[in-house]
Amino acid sequence: MSIEEDDDPWARSPSLVPDSFALPAPPQSEVFLLEPLDLRHNAADYQAWTSSVAHIRATPGFAGQTWPNPALSLEDNAVDLARHARHFARRIGFTYTVLGPESGDVIGCVYIYPARDEAHDVDVRSWVRADQGELDIPLHDLVLQWVTDAWPFRTPAYAAR
């Protein structure tokens, strides 16, 4: 099963932020390094989420979602990462890989996309690998502060931890 652009629900979305908005540098800490997700992360991203499907589905914000889908192949994941990179370039959604600053290992992911309801101005989700579960709350807190301080969003939908 691949994820083609024709199946992309965001493909025709307007920009999430104006072209005049300078994207803020991703936050960094002693525990996290965020950078835009792209194809060079494919193998490590695939390994991270495929090793953590049940954990991710139990993470606030992912309950009832069809992703992660363990039927996806490494090649399907590359298609998905390319889609996220297109969204980033078009400013319709922003996906960041979460890396361990010393190891460079993919330990999670952050998604910033249009709100799914009228009460919020953006939808934010994040997950960490099952073997890094203790980092879920610190990542959530870091990202929430970044989204509300550095981005033009005031009412993010981001499931509490």
How far apart are alpha carbons 68 and 52 in whole angstroms? Answer: 9
The CATH-assigned architecture of domain 27-157 is: 3-Layer(aba) Sandwich (3.40)
How far apart are alpha carbons 25 and 28 in whole angstroms? Answer: 9
pLDDT value of residue 64: 87
pLDDT value of residue 3: 43
How far apart are alpha carbons 140 and 160 in whole angstroms? Answer: 8
Mean pLDDT of 148-161: 96
Contacts of 118 (CB under 8 A, 6+ apart): none
Q: Is pLDDT of 130 > 80?
A: yes
Nearest to 131 by CA among 46, 31, 52, 68: 52
Q: Is pLDDT of 55 > 50?
A: yes
pLDDT value of residue 10: 65
How far apart are alpha carbons 100 and 78 in whole angstroms? Answer: 21
Contact 85, 38 (CB under 8 A): yes
pLDDT value of residue 13: 77
Q: Tell whether omega for the bond before 156 is within 30 degrees of 0, i.e. cis.
A: no
Give percent of the chain above pLDDT 70.
94
List the domain boundaries for the chain: 27-157
> SS3 breakdown of the chain: % helix, strand, coil, rounded to 5?
35, 15, 45
pLDDT digits (tens, 9 = 90+) for 4-52: 445 677 677 788 999 999 999 999 999 999 999 999 999 999 999 999 9
pLDDT value of residue 4: 46
